[in-house]
Amino acid sequence: MSLISVKEEKCVSCGLCGETCPMGLISFDDSRYPQEREGAEGTCVSCGHCVSVCPNGALALAKYDESEFKAVNESLVLKTEHVEQLIKSRRSIRKFKQTKIEKRDFEKLFDIARYAPTGGNSQLVNWIAVNSRDLVKKIGDAAVEHFKNLIVEKHPVTQRYPFEKMIAYYEEGHDFMFRGAPALIITCAPAEYGLGAVDSTIALSYLDLAAASLNIGCCWAGFFMIAASGSEQIRKMLNIPDHFVFTGCLMAGYSDEKYMTIPPRNRAKVTWMD
Ligand SMILES: Cc1cc2nc3c(=O)[nH]c(=O)nc-3n(C[C@H](O)[C@H](O)[C@H](O)COP(=O)(O)O)c2cc1C
């Protein structure tokens, strides 16, 4: 079966579909209409760019129904100052209301974050939504137990952070791991796919930015990420399948803090090479 079909009455042979295909699978060599190159079927990454770039709706991909391509709402295009404000005013949130995150809010965030770019449009990021403070606490406890093992093993990472002090602090009731968050947003990806950590980091960052619009605050759980990447017990608690790797975690909850100003950050270190 062909990958693409062309509505010839709509096609103006502008060539945009061929230019945009990341794999160079569309040619106009033998026809004034786009044609897929030989062997295209196993190479197409199904990104849909050829269809989306066509100004006349002349192209269809067999894999997708036409109705799956959504119109871009031109009236909602953001100005740079809006995007700048969104990005610069995002903060790591460490004070959370103890209410559960509404499932529809979670679903909205996953629905946005699934549009983050992925290597070869692979879309292999899997999400785990932990939406129970009790469970978050148990997972935090397991991470602290793992830190204790790392100290016994004299793992090199224990030279980097004052793990003994941190554990004592945790056991006094200070949740440095998850800051009392009622939820965790965790990613995992198939181990054999080499870009799972990159794709997950991008997707989690998209989600983090989108979350503020629902008053959901997030914070990267780096200490937990150290523990989770090496703990079989945490893998089991999270039901991460055997052939998957843990790739990232944000603590999350409705925000119980508000920042009045944007704190300073270093100037961008740029080497200009024009
Ligand atoms: C990879 C990574 C790991 C982090 N781990 C933690 C963490 O374990 N606990 C925490 O409170 N903050 C953590 N943070 C948040 C940083 O401390 C925070 O991004 C930084 O201080 C800047 O603040 P801002 O995000 O509000 O701009 C982490 C951030 C990143 C990017």
Average pLDDT (205-230) is 97
Tell me: the pLDDT tens digits for 28-38? 988 899 999 98
Query: H or E stretch including 60?
Result: strand 59-61
- Residue 1: pLDDT over 80: no
Residue 104 has pLDDT above 90, yes or no: yes
Cα–Cα distance, 206 to 28 (Å, whole number): 37
User: Tell me: the pLDDT tens digits for 168-184?
Assistant: 999 999 999 999 999 99
**pLDDT of 122 above 90:** yes
Domains of the chain, first to last: 4-68 (3.30.70.20), 84-254 (3.40.109.10)
Helix (H, G, I), strand (E, B) or coil at 248: strand
Q: Which among 219, 249, 257, 258 is the best mutation to test ligand 1's pocket, defined by most ligand atoms within 8 Å of the CB?
A: 219
189: phi then psi, degrees, rounded to nearest 5: -150, 155
Q: Output the average pLDDT for the chain.
A: 96
- Considering only residues 39 and 55, tell me which one the structure prediction assigns the higher pLDDT: 55
For ligand 1, what atom is nearest to the CA of residue 265? 27
CA of 82 to the centre of ligand 1 (A): 23
Q: How far away, in angstroms, is 218 Cα from ligand 1 center?
A: 10
**Atom 17 in ligand 1: residue holding the nearest Cα:** 92
The percent of residues above 70 in pLDDT, for the chain, comes to 100
Tokens of 37: 């190159």
Phi-psi region of 139 (alpha: psi -120 to 50; beta: other; left: phi over 0): alpha
Distance CA 221, CA 127 (A): 15
CA of 164 to the centre of ligand 1 (A): 20
Q: From ligand 1's centre to the CA of 115, what distance in Å?
A: 24
Pocket probe mutation, ligand 1, options 92, 204, 225, max atoms within 8 Å of Cβ? 92
Band (130; pLDDT cuts 50, 70, 90)? very high
Give pLDDT tens digits for 50-100. 999 999 999 999 999 999 999 999 999 899 999 999 999 999 999 999 999
Nearest to 59 by CA among 72, 50, 68, 70: 50
Atom number, ligand 1, closest to the C-alpha of residue 179: 11
pLDDT for position 40: 85
Per-residue confidence band for 39, with pLDDT thresholds at 50, 70 and 90: confident
Atom of ligand 1 nearest to the CA of 223: 8
| Ligand 1: residue whose CA is nearest its atom 27 | 91
Q: Which residues line ligand 1 (CB under 6 A)?
A: 91-92, 94, 219-223
> Contact 6/22 with Cβ under 8 angstroms?
no
The fraction of the chain above a pLDDT of 90, given in percent, is 96
Cα–ligand 1 centroid distance for 77 (angstroms): 30
